[in-house]
Structure 1
């Protein structure tokens, strides 16, 4: 299935809204997992009722932003997402959904919006994530010590990545780098 991505004025390339619903009652902003892009969540825009408009965060270094340098820290990510969404979030209620690495980023953006702009989501959905004080979270900080093969095995174990992607050397290398870069962002947020 072909999904057309609509880049909205003022949102530049950081936010994708595949199915624009100006009369929606609420916006759901989705934050993908480490190494993830927009394609999975883009489908949600079609599946939800017309009362919910789905947007997806697209970080630098992937998809149409593949030639851009990866973000170096959580502050840069927070600032870019906030800048892209701020006007939009003042129009109607919104919720965040973050999965895995995206859960941490969505939480950080929610805290920033509340502290700096007095805005907060009506709900913050988090999935597939460890508590920031857990041993598993602390082990993620050692992602640069993990062998490429072990990262790929974990990706295969989790599922969701087409096997033909994992057979392509360029795609594999980019996926591993993207995962490493995304996880390293988490280490810059306290």
Structure 2
């Protein structure tokens, strides 16, 4: 029987004696499902978990977070719960990249178990602040525009597209996340001491040309930046194999 914690920390892969767990934080409008496919490509000694935000999946009956701070606090407690089972690497994509950075900063300040490495995917450095470039999809987008964006990025399975009620729920979730994202604020001086690995897409028009240098300023320790083929979600092939691009999952952190 699932516990309350199981609904927050969704573990889609468990091994007998894991060396570490890849813990994933969702992007705008997303859930945990987009990460489950990685269970087949992870190193054999690595488990997989994703954090479920309020208002979706097993937490459907909960209210959506009201703002960024509320969601970040919820995510911080969830990651700390996941950390009780051993070493972990924390990953966030897009809005989840900022969330993963913020959560790591909060855990370091609390003195909790920090990740072995922080992996930020497809996100500009938060120190530049929230700009219109980062605010996509946007609050003013129509339902049709949001549905098209979610469909293009693989967030709308066929059974959702075929059901108007499920489409409405998906749109509600997306708009809730957009409202939270648009309250993001960078705390001046916030940096992380854990190894920081930044991934960006070569054709991602959202990412600034000097994003790597900006992220480097936020890393007190080891740092690497890899540019991958494709746009904001890379190519489908790269996304499906993304864990293979993360050396920290094998217990090493190379800066080259």
Aligned partner of residue 12 in structure 2, secondary structure: coil
CA contact 1:101–1:183 (8 Å) conserved in 2:
no
Per-residue deviation at 1:88? 4.2
Please, which runs of 5 or more residues in structure 1 have no aligned partner? 1-5
Change (3 A) 1:18 1:156: closer
Change (3 A) 1:84 1:33: closer
Change (3 A) 1:113 1:157: same
TM-score, with structure 2 as normaliser: 0.63
CA contact 1:103–1:129 (8 Å) conserved in 2:
yes
Partner of 1:98: 92
Per-residue deviation at 1:63? 1.4
> Distance between the aligned counterparts of 1:25 and 1:10, measured in 2?
25
Does residue 122 of the first structure (1) align with residue 116 of the second (2)?
A: yes
Q: Please point out which of 144, 149, 167 is paired with 1:149.
A: 144
Count of aligned pairs: 182
Question: Which has the greater radius of gyration?
Answer: 2
Query: Which deviates the most, 174-183 or 122-131?
Result: 122-131
Aligned partner of residue 34 in structure 1, secondary structure: coil
> Distance between the aligned counterparts of 2:36 and 2:51, measured in 1?
10
CA contact 1:30–1:56 (8 Å) conserved in 2:
yes
> Distance between the aligned counterparts of 1:10 and 1:61, measured in 2?
14
Aligned partner of residue 5 in structure 2, secondary structure: coil
Query: Which deviates the most, 124-133 or 65-74?
Result: 124-133
Partner of 1:185: 180
Once the two structures are superposed, what CA deviation does each residue of 1:91-117 show, in whole Å capped at 9, x if it has no partner? 532111111222222121111111122
TM-score, with structure 1 as normaliser: 0.82
> Distance between the aligned counterparts of 2:15 and 2:34, measured in 1?
19
Does residue 67 of the first structure (1) align with residue 66 of the second (2)?
A: no
- Which structure dedicates a bigger proportion of its chain to helix? 1
Partner of 1:34: 28
Per-residue deviation at 1:57? 0.6
Please, which runs of 5 or more residues in structure 2 have no aligned partner? 186-256
Per-residue deviation at 1:118? 4.8
Once the two structures are superposed, what CA deviation does each residue of 1:132-153 show, in whole Å capped at 9, x if it has no partner? 435411x34x832221111112
> Distance between the aligned counterparts of 1:10 and 1:164, measured in 2?
27
